[in-house]
């Protein structure tokens, strides 16, 4: 259709032209949900002069303008588009209960098409360990940051498990956190055994790995 020099144009052929233009510009990131075009009957044309796709990435609506050369002169056909965009979303793989900490293995990235991709503000699933659920999130539900509250893994004054690793050797002992920390933060801890102040990285709830 896009290479024809002459022919007859109906709604179905306009839709095919729209799909071609969408794929040319956005590849598989968008799909056409609905198209509205006013054509009472097929239009006989000599050639296609121009195709203009007016679509902004991420927007659910757009327009397509088709300029045809006919025996009676030029004619413009306008189609209104309803679009869906491919979104990479964090989806709960099990029920996340209100007030409970969220762990990376409880969620997964899934791709789905939506009119507008919701803003998540979550850079990676690893950072979720720093949050608790503000409400129950059901399995299969998209997880957005507004459902979460940031909660440290270690609080100042809390008793923590201090871990030392060297090769296959692992030693753990108890200590007191001198700082509040989220996942990946380096904080100070005081050993109950020796009284020494050590520095380590927060790796889980109540656990610090010595540097």
Which of 109-123, 172-186, 187-201 is predicted with the least confidence, judged by mean pLDDT? 109-123
pLDDT digits (tens, 9 = 90+) for 8-39: 899 999 999 999 999 999 999 999 999 999 88
From 39, 66, 85, give the residue that closes a domain. Answer: 85
Find the helix or strand (DSSP H, E) in which 108 lies: strand 107-114
Task: Note whether residue 2 is domain-resident.
Answer: no
CATH number of the domain enclosing 95: 3.90.1210.10
Task: Note whether residue 44 is domain-resident.
Answer: yes
Domain extent, residue 48, equals: 7-85
Compute CA distances 89 → 6, 98, 146, 176, 179, whole Å. Answer: 44, 20, 14, 38, 34
Task: Note whether residue 167 is domain-resident.
Answer: yes
Q: How is residue 11 annotated by DSSP?
A: H
Q: How far is the C-alpha of 51 from the C-alpha of 180, rounded, in Å?
A: 59
For the chain, the domain total comes to: 3
What is the dihedral angle through the alpha carbons of 34, 35, 36, 41, rounded to the nearest 10 degrees?
-130
Asked whether the predicted pLDDT for residue 139 surpasses 60, the reply is yes
Task: Note whether residue 115 is domain-resident.
Answer: yes
For residues 59 and 70, state if they share a domain.
yes
Say whether pTM exceeds 0.75.
Answer: no
Which residues neighbour 171 within 8 Å (Cβ) at sequence distance 6 or greater? 163, 164
CATH number of the domain enclosing 178: 2.30.30.760
Asked whether the predicted pLDDT for residue 3 surpasses 50, the reply is no
Task: Note whether residue 1 is domain-resident.
Answer: no
Beta bridge partners of residue 91, listed in sequence order: 108, 142
From 35, 63, 85, give the residue that closes a domain. Answer: 85
pLDDT band at 110 (very low <50, low <70, confident <90, very high): very high
Phi-psi category of residue 140: left, alpha or beta, with phi > 0 → left and psi -120 to 50 → alpha: left
Q: Give me the percent of the chain exceeding a pLDDT of 90.
A: 87
């Amino acid at each position: 259709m896009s290479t024809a020099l002459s022919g007859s144009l109906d709604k179905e052929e306009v839709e095919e032209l729209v799909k071609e233009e969408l794929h040319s510009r956005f590849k598989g990131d968008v799909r056409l949900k609905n198209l509205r075009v006013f054509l009472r009957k097929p239009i006989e044309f000599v050639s296609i002069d121009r195709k203009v796709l007016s679509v902004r990435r991420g927007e659910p609506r757009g327009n397509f303008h088709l300029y045809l050369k006919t025996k009676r002169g030029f004619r413009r056909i306008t189609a209104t588009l309803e679009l869906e965009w491919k979104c990479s979303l964090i989806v709960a793989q099990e029920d996340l209960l209100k007030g409970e900490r969220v762990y990376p293995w409880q969620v997964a990235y899934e791709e789905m098409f939506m009119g507008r991709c919701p803003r998540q503000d979550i850079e990676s699933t690893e950072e979720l360990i720093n949050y608790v659920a503000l409400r129950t999130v059901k399995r299969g539900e998209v997880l957005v940051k507004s459902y979460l509250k940031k909660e440290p893994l270690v609080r100042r004054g809390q008793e923590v498990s201090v871990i030392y690793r060297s090769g296959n050797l692992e030693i753990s002992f108890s200590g007191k956190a001198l700082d509040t920390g989220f996942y990946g933060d380096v904080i100070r801890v005081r050993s109950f055994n020796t009284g020494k102040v050590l520095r380590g990285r927060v790796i889980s709830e109540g656990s610090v790995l010595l540097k």
